[in-house]
A and B are shown apart, each in its own frame.
Chain A
Amino acid sequence: MAEFWFAALAITLVLYSVLDGFDFGAAALTLVLGKTEPERRAVISAIGPFWDGNEVWLIASGGILFLAFPSVLALAFPAFYLALFLVLWCLILRGIAMEVRSHVTDPMWRSFWDVVLALSSGLLALLFGVALGNVVRGMPIGEGSTFTLAFFTHFGTTGNVGLLDWYTVSVGLLSLVALLAHGAAFLVYRTDGALRERARLLERRLWIGGGVLFALVTVETRFVRPELFDALLERPLAWAFSALSLAGVVGGARAYAREHDRLAFLGSSAVLAGLLGATATALFPTMLHSTLDPARSVTAEQALSAPYGLRVAVVWWPVAFALAATYLAFAFRANQEKIRSEPAVDDERPHGST
């Protein structure tokens, strides 16, 4: 049971990262890639049909935590109190920016919301990386049933750690760069013309930067949590995820070179899913690692809810998951045509003239 729900949580969170990841990345690049209003509009139109559904995967992850691991929720969420509210407020701002920017044609209105959207999305990509860094590095769980986490303490990764240190900041930066690259890949797939060309160029640079940061974070992880590497080597599932990641890199690069945009985006998704999947596999069974005393770490087994409720949920959860996956497939099928961002002949009247 613990394996099942840990896996369910990991799958949901990986899907969330890959899916909301592309809309974070694309949205954060709105101003960089969109030089004209139609181009910015194309960026928003590209992620518009997806972002709301993508965000539900976060709600779904929260649901699994509540359902299957309530004590993890109860231990970790208050500890990250202010950081989580920062995340919440960014989520509110970007959702609102996304939905309201198109209602008014005034250029200042749109510029304002584009800036709000880009900044909040970029900050979220960074913060979710920092959060992942905290999960990998561990938290100062000591005596007693609660702990708190300062924004930063001694900026080191052992003992009484804070939210930010050299490791979690590196993971945050990796997340930011990787999601920007992933978002650029999505825009290459969904748009055309000059916007697509610009996204292509930037995607390439971002992936190179992401590769460098990934190598750095890998070396850092070797020092922060050496035992994770042993787990990686011992577990065939982790090999499978690593292989998926590698296939994503190779396949994605080939598709990129041949301008097979959808395949390149799938490659980018496979890279992220593989890396996060391998990380989750290596972390199992620990959910909250203690930097103070490994014996106080919380495992999935310890945090697991009572069996009857979980047996009930095992029946309905896969059904709901299949439904959600179906909606997602339909959303991608319904949005296959590239979004034009260059003015067509019949669209040359100035905006706001209606």
Chain B
Amino acid sequence: MDDPTLWHRLQFAFTIVYHYLFPQLTMGLALHLVLWKWRAYRHGDAIAGETARFWARIFGVNFAFGVVTGVPMEFQFGTNWARFAEHTGGVIGQTLALEGMFAFFLESALIAAVVWGEKRLGPKRHFLCTLGVFVGSWLSGYFIVTTNAFMQHPVGHAFDDKGRMILGSVSEYLLNPWAIAQYAHTMIASVVTASFVIAAVGAFYTLKKLHQPTAALFLRSGVRVGLVAAVLVAFPTGDHQAKLVARHQPVALAAMEGRFESGTHAELTFIGQPNVRERRIDNAIQAPAVLSILAFGTPQRSVQGLNDFPVDQWPTNIELLYYSFHVMAGLGTLFIALMAFSTFADVRGWLARSPPLLWCLMLAFPFPYIATTAGWMTAELGRQPWLVYGLFRTVDGTSQNVSSGNVLFTLIGFTGLYFALGVLFLYLVGRELAHGPGGPAPSAYGDPAPDGPGGGHG
């Protein structure tokens, strides 16, 4: 109870995992909105326009929850991770400031126009505003991923006379190869999430025999974009990310795979439990040589095990890291299978007539959220015990004069507040889903809409 680092970590982990539930849908959905708006604008596709209008409303709710849960992140660098802020502010302050100045202002300027402004702006300007929100949200993603990539694989830095990290080369920092790989992987994963959500709503309406033919477009966009994204998230982006981990964080890779012994023809573990005390993996089901091939492209290369590293270099929670990685990778594989099969069914024209498959698609939407969370847990747990890999330890980054009790107090506060926010979010999205596409569009902040009084729809 009196290890403050643990509570600081838990609070940051909880608030950022919760926060990231919203932006991943924002970023993925922004791409879908741009695609639908383009079809509506260029080809006069009324169904695509209707679809974009419906999802823009969900986007608006989701965006608002993303904004309010995002503000605590920047504060916590100061309140909970003061020594980290002081030691790395010269480097990561750059991207955090860039994100606010270039991405957040752009998004905040255009979000209302996207959600409420279609009638007033006309098709061309409304399309451009949607494109602007897409650019803003994906730009924001780049700055924040670059910040994380520096913590995973520090490049472009120097040290000042007090030993603090300062910027050495802005181009090296912003074009960190780790950042580019991680960005591609993260963004495409957000498209997977959005595609699953869209397909799930399409499947729900189709099963309920509601809102045709709009729901058919939901299904089609969801499964087709979903298939492309589910493949890309594994190959080449996930694969490339894993190779970077193998090269630059070999001890993290060993822990992700629960591998203690070194050797060539390293096996890939599908199922098994790391037994850290006995330093082995229990009840393992493995494929020989696959890990060597995946990590280095050849079975001849040796993959190091945890035994090769001093224990103080090991990630601090090997079991959780192992499970996170396997959950992410396992789900990612299932996503490809589900979306490939659904796309096949869609191309052959029987997707909408197959209730079992529709049920699967409808119930599948939480799993991309689980996969992205597990993916981030893999990245962040694998980085331990470092805040900045190899340079700055996590225990050295906390605010020294903030007690465990204070952190626990605010963590409990966040838990309660975020529980209430979650209920509220589900209620509001549930109302939008019950209302469905079509019908009178509500206008901003409850202004009476031209075609009916009241902002809501009941």
Which segment, of A46-54, A157-165, A170-178, A194-202, faces chain B? A46-54
A309 to chain B: closest residue by CB: B167
**Is residue B360 contacting chain A, with contact meaning CB distance below 8 A?**
no
Whether the Cβ atoms of A77 and B108 lie closer than 8 Å is: no
In the complex, the answer to whether A352 meets B458 with C-beta atoms within 8 Å is yes
Q: Which residue of B lies closest to A323 (CB)?
A: B105
B interface residue numbers (CB < 8 A to A) = 60-61, 64-65, 67-69, 71-72, 74-75, 77-80, 82-83, 85-86, 88-94, 96-102, 104-106, 108-109, 111-112, 158, 160, 166-168, 170, 399-402, 406, 409-410, 413, 417, 421, 424, 428, 431, 440, 442, 444-448, 452-458
Cβ distance A263 to chain B, nearest Cβ, rounded Å: 25
In the complex, are the beta carbons of B98 and A316 less than 8 A apart? yes
| Chain A 65-96 per-residue mask, 1 if CB under 8 angstroms from chain B, else 0 | 11110110111111111101100110110011
Q: How many Å from the CB of B155 to the closest CB on chain A?
A: 14
Q: How far is the CA of A89 from the CA of B412 in the complex (A)?
A: 12
Instruction: Check A349 for interface membership: any CB of B closer than 8 A.
Output: yes
Contact B399 A101 (CB under 8 A): no
With known contacts A105-B454, A105-B455, A308-B168, A63–B86 Cβ distance under 8 A: no
CA distance A62 to B67 in the complex (A): 15
Determine whether the beta carbon of A70 is less than 8 Å from that of B79.
no
Residues of B within 8 Å of A48, CB to CB, are: 112, 444-445
Whether A100 pairs with B86 at a CB distance below 8 angstroms is: no
- In the complex, the chain A residue whose C-beta lies closest to that of B456 is A105
Q: Is A67 touching B96 in the complex (CB atoms < 8 A)? A: yes
Pairwise interchain contact A105-B413, C-beta atoms closer than 8 A: no
The reply to whether A74 and B458 contact each other, CB–CB distance below 8 Å, is no
B167→A146 contact, CB < 8 A: no
Residue of A nearest to B120 (CB): A334
Instruction: Chain B residues near A323: list those with CB within 8 A.
Output: 101-102, 105-106
Which of A129-137, A207-215, A245-253, A324-332 is near enough to bind chain B?
A: A324-332
Specify which of B91, B399, B447, B453 is in contact with A45 (CB 8 Å cutoff).
B447
Closest-CB distance, B335 to chain A (whole angstroms): 31
Which one, A53, A64, A78, A347, contacts B97 given CB within 8 A?
A: A64
Cα distance A78–B410 in the bound complex, in angstroms? 13
Cβ–Cβ contact B455 & A70, under 8 A? no
Which residues on B sit within 8 Å (CB–CB) of A305?
Answer: 89-90, 93, 166
Cβ–Cβ < 8 Å partners of A77 in chain B: 75, 78-79, 82, 85, 399
- Max chain A C-beta neighbours (<10 A), residue from B82, B97, B160, B457: B97
- Judging by beta carbons under 8 Å apart, are A52 and B89 in contact? no
Q: Which 7 A-B pairs have the closest CB atoms?
A: A70-B89, A77-B78, A63-B97, A102-B446, A320-B101, A67-B93, A309-B167
- Chain B residues within 8 Å of A106, by CB: 456
User: Is A278 an interface position by the 8 A CB rule?
Assistant: no
Nearest chain B CB to A103's CB is how many angstroms away?
6
The smallest beta-carbon distance between A342 and chain B, in angstroms, is: 12
Closest Cβ of chain B to A31, distance in Å, is 16
A339 to B443: give the CA distance in the assembly, Å.
14
Interface residue A41 (Cβ < 8 Å from any Cβ of B): yes
Known contacts A66-B77, A79-B401, A323-B102; 14 additional CB pairs below 8 A are: A44-B445, A48-B112, A48-B445, A60-B100, A63-B97, A67-B94, A67-B96, A71-B89, A73-B86, A92-B69, A305-B93, A330-B109, A347-B453, A352-B454
Knowing A78-B402, A85-B410, A354-B458, say if A96 contacts B64 (CB, 8 Å): yes
- Contacts of A327 on B, CB cut-off 8 Å? 105-106, 108-109
CB<8 Å pairs between A and B, sample of 23: A63-B101, A67-B94, A76-B78, A77-B78, A80-B79, A88-B75, A89-B417, A92-B417, A96-B424, A99-B60, A99-B64, A100-B428, A101-B445, A103-B61, A104-B431, A104-B458, A105-B456, A110-B446, A148-B401, A308-B167, A350-B453, A354-B452, A354-B458
Among A89, A103, A316, the residue within 8 A (CB) of B428 is A103
Among residues of B, the one whose C-beta sits closest to the C-beta of A317 is B101
Min CB gap A140→B, angstroms: 12
Cα distance, A354 to B450, chains bound together (Å): 13
Chain A residues positioned under 8 Å from B64 (CB to CB) = 95-96, 99-100
Closest to B162 in A: A71
Query: Chain A contacts of B440 at CB under 8 A?
Result: 354
Give the distance in Å from the alpha carbon of A84 to the alpha carbon of B453 in the complex.
Answer: 40
Q: Does the CB pair B93–A68 fall under 8 Å?
A: yes
How many angstroms from the CA of A45 to the CA of B447 in the assembled complex? Answer: 7
Whether, in the assembled complex, A223 has its beta carbon less than 8 Å from a beta carbon of chain B, the answer is no
Contact indicator B104/A56 (Cβ below 8 Å)? yes
Q: How far is the CA of A82 from the CA of B71 in the complex (A)?
A: 16
Select one of B74, B406, B454 contacting A59, CB under 8 A: B74
Q: Which residues of A contact B111 (CB under 8 A)?
A: 52
Q: Which residues of B contact A324 (CB under 8 A)?
A: 101, 105
A351 on interface, CB distance cutoff 8 Å = yes
Alpha-carbon distance A62/B431, docked complex (angstroms): 36
Inter-subunit contact B457/A354 (CB<8 Å): yes
List, in ascending order, chain A residues with CB within 8 A of B410's CB: 81-82, 85
**Closest residue to A307 on the B side, CB-wise?**
B166
B458 and A88 contact, CB distance less than 8 A:
no
Instruction: Kindly list chain B residues whose C-beta atoms are within 8 Å of the C-beta of A317.
Output: 97, 101
Which chain B positions have C-beta within 8 A of A166?
none
